[in-house]
Copies of this chain bind each other. A is one copy, B any other.
């Protein structure tokens, strides 16, 4: 089954919001064997929506429209749908009851705009939205299914998971697709390609390989297409086993596993605890670790030491070390790691100190200079990095690099 996603909303086309809905829908559909042929973002404009639907109808068995449904005046999707399916808006009692109940629970009075939300195209099957006031709408025309859902992410997700996918599963025409991604670190894309060239050339015809490089790592995605999902999983699994033997030291994770999850798994497996002391990363490492459910099992906590006084008072960094070497130095970052490890009684500690930018650099220590320390039961290592001049990217890269260093130290335990 081939699907197209049409996202409706000026806010996407002026770059005000990033279209995360499409990525989520694409992932869910792929996991359910529905291939996404194209994603198209169009304006809040009746004609433009109709045009995109016409083009999509020719290629796709399923068209999912997101956005453009809400109580206010910029709502034009329903009118575009009425035109397209040659139908009219009619009052939908059950949707109105749903809206009334939602407002009653929140002690808010209904107004006319809320009543208008219960006016729906007569030709559609209404998909009840239990987490919001705008319902989903399901249409069929010739051999193509069209579904319209609100753009608010958790309402869209609710309708896809609870209404759309269950209906599509009964359909049964889906092809099986299986993706697996291998995360590698330590080899640039072209060198990695050279190292695995023979393996790549000998991949079965129904497996495609893609290189997905980013500044921190290169991910290799294998995509297998066939009829039997279990068979595809075995096939891809076998190829990954061969790959592991070719580049054992460079693989660090699979699929969308984050470094927070990977280091968390290692800490849990080994029964170890962690603490962090952050200067330039400003709490971001702590956030990456605590984004993982259950992280309280191994994460004791951390200190964001944005001033020298906090480095001294909470982490025990000595005044002399700060004076002699400056805050961005091997010596200070080492004392930060040792200090937080001791204060919080953790087995391992991570510390960072650097110049995130955009200002604050010197000739000797330019913006992007970052020192990272990992203190463990056996030893403490420190390493210096020079990233770029972009604050946001420096924070992210420093944090990811610190977790990579931690991962390597944990592997050695």
Contacts and interface: CB of A to CB of B under 8 A. Distances in A.
A393 interface: yes
Interface residues of A, number: 106
Contacts of A92: none
A392 B291 contact: yes
B16 A12 contact: no
Q: Give the oligomeric copy count.
A: 2
B71 A190 contact: yes
Given A44-B210, A113-B190, 20 more contacts: A11-B212, A15-B24, A19-B19, A40-B40, A72-B211, A74-B208, A74-B211, A108-B188, A111-B190, A152-B213, A282-B287, A283-B283, A283-B285, A283-B302, A290-B356, A295-B306, A301-B310, A304-B304, A313-B343, A314-B343
Contacts of A73: 193, 200, 209, 211
Contact of A26 (B14, B26, B179): B14
Nearest to A42: B38
A12 B26 contact: yes
A52 to B, nearest CB: 8
B314 A306 contact: no
A306 B296 contact: yes
Contacts of A194: 111, 113
A contact patch SS: mixed
B70 A211 contact: yes
Interface of A: 10-20, 22-30, 35-44, 48, 52, 55, 70-74, 106, 108, 111, 113-114, 152, 154, 179, 181, 188-191, 193-194, 200, 208-215, 221, 223, 256, 276, 278, 282-287, 289-291, 293-296, 299-307, 309-310, 313-314, 343-345, 356-359, 388, 390-393, 395
B307 A314 contact: no
A249 to B, nearest CB: 17
Nearest to A391: B293
A393 B392 CA distance: 21
A36 B16 contact: no
A356 to B, nearest CB: 8
